[in-house]
Amino acid sequence: MPIPHLDRRSTTLLTITGCLLLFSAIFIGAWLYGEQGELTHLMLRKLPPSFDHPFGTDWLGRDMLARTLKGLRISLFVGLSAAGCSSIIALLLGLAAATMGKTVDTVVTWLVDVTIATPHLVLLILISFALGGGIKGVIIAVAVSHWPALTRIIRAEVMQLQTAEYVQLSQQLGKGTLFIARHHMLPHVIPQFTVGLLLLFPHAILHAAALTFLGFGMSPHTPAVGVLLAESMRSLSMGLWWLAVAPGIALVITVKAFDILGMNVRTILDPRTCRE
């Protein structure tokens, strides 16, 4: 019996479903393990990956699978919060730049250029250090540094809409700037906002992990992926390779899954490809 051919839309929907199942598995797995990743078992120290401990154990006998799942859950929370805040900043500034006159547009464009010109990692470290680190400091640092690219996209889309007939008609009928932005501009840029949010997600996760790895992010007592990778550096010379490889691969797979999810959602929302 021949296998039925799937069109591009069906393949895209299956890919999106697979990514969502992966993220659900991370949260469910972290919930099922509970606090097991924090419990020490000195008799089980430095065990390599096995059936009982798929990711091995660390120098205190803590199960690395439980710690990795909890770290990924923390990374997903930080990434979602940071990407959401950054996308909202981009949406507001993009709408303001395109609808509130030349002065506002000049100020927003200058802010975008300054933020992009500043070395990314340096800006992240400075903001996180100034806020004292922690989850809040990481979220704010990532959110404040990731909005410029999406702001440019939204600004360009809204400025293109300014020439649309229904927008010009609304202006001739005496509708204000806020009314036009809310009822005409905002619904049109929601797809770009959604895709931008999903594509910001992997960047937010990676940069949050990088900040924590360098010691400017979350507390060493928090089992975040960046903390696990930083701790593993002291053990690589002792042959405990699984302490770095397992969390590292899990982080790469999660980030790549979000990248694939964002690209496929863009395919669904793009009028040129949604009917294929």
Encode pLDDT of 29-50 as tens digits.
888 877 766 777 778 888 888 8
- Domain annotation covers residue 141: yes
Q: What is the pTM of this model?
A: 0.79
Query: Does a structural domain hold residue 62?
Result: no
Q: Is residue 19 part of a domain?
A: no
Q: What is the pLDDT of residue 3?
A: 43
Would residue 83 count as lying in a domain?
A: yes
Whether residue 1 is predicted with pLDDT greater than 50 in this model: the reply is no
How many domains is the chain built from? Answer: 1
DSSP β-bridge partners for residue 63: 57
CA torsion angle 142 146 151 157 (round to 10): -120
| Burial of 82 (C-beta count, 10 Å sphere; 0-12/13-18/19+) | buried
pLDDT of amino acid 110? 92
Q: Return the percentage of the chain with pLDDT > 70, whole number.
A: 93
The domain of 106 spans: 77-269
User: What are the pLDDT digits (tens) for 209-256?
Assistant: 888 888 787 777 777 888 888 888 877 777 788 888 888 888 888 888
**What pLDDT was estimated at residue 271?**
55
Beta bridge mates, 57 = 63
Residue 253 lies in a domain: yes
- Residue 173 belongs to a domain: yes
265: in domain: yes
Residue 63 counted as domain residue? no
pLDDT for the residue 276? 53
